[in-house]
Amino acid sequence: MYELPPIDLLESTHAFPGPYMFKVIGKAERGFVARTVAAVRAQLDTNADPPYSVREAVGGRHVAVTVEPMVQTAQQVLDIYGRLRSLTGLVMMW
């Protein structure tokens, strides 16, 4: 459904370790924001929430979540994308 960026592209355009920004849009229901943040936290195997912000779409049907965790490698970025891809209610991510 979603094509992930190749590792070589990630490594050539980002410095690792460092912050990486994930943008996820989903249906504003059933705890989508909490599940998004929890998915990133679980993949990073940490107890602390990564920095994130939330914006509701006009009309309130969708919510945009921006998560910016510290990542160690390009593979870790791909692993997080893989976990986010399985979220119920996911509409789009980049």
CATH number at residue 21: 3.30.70.260
pLDDT digits (tens, 9 = 90+) for 12-64: 889 999 999 999 999 998 899 999 999 999 999 999 999 999 999 888 899 99
- Polymer length of the chain: 94
Nearest Cα neighbor of 52 from 32, 30, 76 is 32
pLDDT digits (tens, 9 = 90+) for 22-32: 999 999 988 99
Give a yes or no: residue 52 inside a domain. Answer: yes
Q: Tell me: pLDDT of 1 over 80.
A: no
Compute the distance between CA of residue 73 and CA of residue 82 in angstroms, rounded to an integer.
14
Count the domains in the chain: 1
Q: Which domain holds residue 52?
A: 7-93
Name the strand (E) or helix (H) holding 86. Answer: none
